[in-house]
């Protein structure tokens, strides 16, 4: 068991400096993640950085000694049809497409599937005037246009998101996550695929499904004095290291 009797609190100057560093790191991380994914729509990205609460209040017990974090929402519909979605996000887009196709089948049971309508090409036959005329058995072009509009409007009305997240948390020796027994800073960055931004959904285990909704395992624990001594170049190198590991 750790002996906290000799634990010291941060001085005002130490607190100010480590808060500046955590804010700078998370701001750099926010700008990097936002620039890497065009689906992020909360501009400017730096304005989304927030302070981690560290003061107790009614109904809230802090589990760190402060720091900063950021959550950037990215529109799932932005990557519809682009093939450029982050790999963990593509299955969500595929599932959304299946829902839209099912709704098309429900509303238009007399028509071919949504994908068949969209991909249809009329069978053309040369006519007497040097042009081409669709054969009678060809799918009406109006069905193709209706299917394209249906798919486009369905995605336009879709407001599901996924989230890029980064944190820099100040941990005292008595914080549960502390590893060294001295003041330290824990930093991480990852992707959350849950449309509500939940990192974990425990009740999914009841259905045999994965509870963890995050992707990415980049994280570092840095002694606080070492973190405070980092200049902008050092922080940018850390951000670049994190950036290379994100999906």
Q: Domain coordinates of the chain in residue numbers?
A: 90-156
- Partnered with residue 167 across adjacent β-strands are 69, 188
Average pLDDT, the chain: 89
User: pLDDT of 110-134, one tens digit each?
Assistant: 998 998 888 876 555 556 566 655 5
User: pLDDT of 135-147, one tens digit each?
Assistant: 554 577 788 889 9
pTM: 0.84
**pLDDT for res 38:** 93
Angle, alpha carbons 55-47-60 (nearest 5°) = 20
Burial (CB count within 10 angstroms: exposed 0-12, middle 13-18, buried 19+), residue 173: middle
User: pLDDT of 55-67, one tens digit each?
Assistant: 888 787 778 999 9
* Tokens encoding 175: 């914080």
What is the rounded CA–CA span in Å between residue 27 and residue 137? 60
**Number of C-beta neighbours around residue 110 at 10 A:** 4
- Partnered with residue 40 across adjacent β-strands are 74
């Amino acid at each position: 068991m750790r002996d906290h009797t000799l634990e010291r609190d941060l001085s005002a100057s130490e607190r100010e400096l480590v808060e500046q560093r955590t804010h700078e790191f998370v701001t750099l991380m926010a700008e990097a993640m936002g620039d890497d994914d065009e689906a992020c729509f909360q501009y400017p990205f730096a304005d989304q950085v927030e302070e981690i609460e560290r003061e107790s209040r009614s109904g809230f017990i802090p589990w760190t000694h402060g720091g900063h974090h950021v959550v950037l929402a990215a529109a799932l519909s932005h990557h519809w049809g682009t093939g450029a979605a982050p790999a963990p996000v593509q299955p969500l887009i595929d599932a959304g497409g299946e829902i839209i196709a099912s709704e098309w089948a429900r509303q238009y049971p007399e028509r071919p599937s949504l994908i068949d309508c969209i991909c249809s090409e009329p069978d053309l036959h040369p006519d007497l005037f040097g042009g081409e005329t669709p054969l009678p058995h060809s799918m009406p072009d109006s069905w193709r246009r209706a299917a394209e509009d249906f798919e486009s409007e369905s995605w336009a009305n879709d407001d599901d998101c996924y989230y890029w997240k980064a944190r820099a948390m100040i941990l005292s020796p008595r914080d549960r996550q502390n590893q060294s027994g001295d003041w330290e800073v824990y930093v991480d960055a990852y992707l959350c695929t849950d449309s509500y931004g939940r990192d974990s959904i425990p009740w999914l285990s009841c259905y045999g499904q994965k509870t963890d909704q995050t992707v990415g395992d980049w994280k570092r624990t840095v002694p606080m004095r070492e973190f405070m001594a980092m200049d902008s170049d050092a922080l940018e190198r850390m951000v670049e290291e994190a950036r290379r590991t994100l999906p």
